[in-house]
């Protein structure tokens, strides 16, 4: 791992990657989609390890062994803990709860396994907006709060458990009950290519865009990429291997 990148890690934060979803729009868990020859989860782990020195992956029991297999194929310098949802299919709030229960650090940064381009500068910028009362620091992008690109303090655990116990399954459901700091897009404009950080893969269109985004740009800059419908006609979503 690049030494400078490691020195820049947010050492007082645990990164949490949610990788337990069914991926209904792509046919299987998005962690196992391949971009080129690399699993999407592996790309996310490689990127996040440049930002954080402690990572938790939350997945389902049925995918646990495959996640471990991806982890074991990576260099030993990647410090990753894989844990399981206690109740599969209950949504991202449970994933956050599981991580809050086991993390030894004060703060968590929560992201999805389908977000391969998270920007280190933007992450540090958002975290820098916290104050002494903050329990969550959440960016607002294109008018919407982004709970899967946000920081959560360990003190959120009690409120999140109460909301979950009342049958709520969305992370935003406990926001009214904690001290929320918001990173507005007008502030994020100072970070070059901040849009890229929020890109996530939901379908074949997004996957094709991501493959093109991985190609080097002639000027080293992020360029918004759009795919024509005609370009999609002969494309197929890569199948996940059986083992």
- pLDDT, tens digit (0-9, with 9 covering 90-100), for 82-129: 999 888 778 899 999 999 999 999 999 999 999 999 999 999 999 999
Q: In 77-86, which positions are buried (b, 16+ CB within 10 angstroms) versus exposed (e)?
A: eeebebbbbe
pLDDT tens for each residue of the chain, 243 residues long: 454 444 455 888 999 999 976 655 555 678 888 887 888 999 999 999 999 999 999 998 888 888 888 878 776 666 789 999 888 778 899 999 999 999 999 999 999 999 999 999 999 999 999 999 999 999 999 999 999 999 999 999 999 999 999 999 999 999 999 999 999 999 999 999 999 999 998 888 888 888 888 876 654 444 444 444 444 444 444 444 433
Structural domains for the chain: 3-232 (3.90.550.10)
DSSP, collapsed to helix, strand or coil, labels residue 159 as helix
Q: What CA–CA distance (Å, rounded) separates 99 from 135?
A: 15
Is residue 85 annotated as involved in ligand binding? yes
Query: Can you give the pLDDT at residue 69?
Result: 85
> For the whole model, what pTM was predicted?
0.85
Terminal-residue alpha carbon distance, the chain: 28
Q: Is 33 helix (H, G, I), strand (E, B) or coil?
A: coil
Q: What is the pLDDT of residue 204?
A: 80
User: Mind giving me the DSSP string for 73-141?
Assistant: TS-TT--EEEEE-SSTTS-HHHHHHHHHHH--SSEEEEEETT-TT--HHHHHHHHTT--TT-SEEEEEE
The answer to whether the beta carbons of residues 87 and 49 sit under 8 Å apart is no
Of the candidates 173, 177, 129, 176, which has an alpha carbon nearest to the alpha carbon of residue 150? 129
Structure tokens at 64: 């646990």
Is 114 labelled as part of a ligand binding site? yes
Is 18 assigned a ligand-binding role in the annotation?
yes
- Residue 217: its pLDDT value, please? 60
Query: Helix 40-48 crosses helix 64-72 at what angle (to 10 degrees)?
Result: 60
């Amino acid at each position: 791992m690049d030494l400078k990148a490691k020195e820049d890690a947010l050492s007082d934060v645990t990164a949490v990657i949610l990788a337990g979803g069914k991926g209904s729009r792509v046919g299987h868990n998005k962690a196992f989609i391949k971009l080129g020859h690399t699993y999407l989860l592996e790309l996310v782990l490689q990127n996040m390890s440049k930002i954080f020195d402690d990572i938790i992956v939350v997945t389902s029991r049925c995918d646990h062994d495959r996640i471990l297999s991806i982890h074991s194929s990576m260099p030993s310098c990647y410090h990753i803990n894989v844990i399981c949802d206690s109740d599969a299919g209950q949504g991202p709030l449970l994933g956050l709860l599981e991580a809050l229960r086991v993390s030894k650090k004060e703060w968590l940064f929560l992201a999805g396994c389908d977000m391969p381009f998270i920007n280190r500068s933007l992450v540090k910028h958002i975290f820098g907006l916290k104050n002494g009362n903050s329990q969550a620091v959440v960016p607002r992008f294109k008018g919407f709060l982004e709970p899967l690109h946000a920081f959560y303090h360990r003190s959120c655990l009690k409120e999140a458990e109460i909301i979950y116990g009342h049958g709520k399954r969305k992370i935003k459901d406990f926001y009214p009950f904690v001290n929320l700091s918001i990173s507005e897009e007008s502030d994020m404009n100072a970070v070059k290519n901040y849009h890229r950080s929020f890109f996530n893969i939901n379908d074949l269109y997004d996957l094709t865009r991501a493959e093109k985004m991985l190609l080097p740009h002639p000027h080293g800059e992020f360029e918004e990429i759009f795919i024509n419908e005609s370009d999609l006609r002969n494309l197929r979503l890569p199948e996940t291997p059986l083992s």
